[in-house]
Amino acid sequence: MVTEFKVREAAELLGVSDDTLRRWADAGRISIRQAPNGRQVVPGAELAALAQSLAAGHDEPGRDTASARNRLRGVVTKVIRDTVMAQVEMQAGPYRLVSLMSREAADELGLDVGCLAVASIKATNVVVEVPHP
């Protein structure tokens, strides 16, 4: 069975807009074709290859080397500070991330709503749950 994704679904999986995905198709980075039902679709194998390519090339120039491999670039959407701690929320593509840190660290980084940030995720334990239907 050949897996295909609607343009909107493919863009969401890559963490980009529909328009960006269409521009990439125009530039030859990925194929978009018309399915028999008239909808535009992206072949699943090409989507997987592009996702891997984007992940492999995600290093930012001048960034320090770190052991954390999961780096998600996003925008800060909420910062709650008290006298000691800060809760920072980010949106990185389709992912919402929440980090707890010292208020001092949040202040030193200048974390405020609307700023660009990179979340580095390294965990020794990951809990996976299956949602109830």
Q: What is the pLDDT of residues 30-83, one digit of tens each?
A: 999 998 899 999 998 888 888 888 776 654 444 555 555 677 888 889 999 999
Is the whole model's pTM more than 0.85, yes or no?
no
Name which CATH class applies to 4-56: mainly alpha
**Residue-level pLDDT at 122:** 75
- Ordered by start, the domain boundaries in the chain are 4-56, 70-121
**Residue 33 CB neighbour total at 10 angstroms:** 11
**Residue-level pLDDT at 133:** 67
- Paired with 85 in beta bridges are 102
Name which CATH class applies to 70-121: mainly beta
| Both tokens assigned to 105 | 């660290």
* Dihedral pair phi/psi, residue 90, rounded to 5°: -130, 155
More confident residue, 126 or 19: 19
More confident residue, 54 or 108: 108
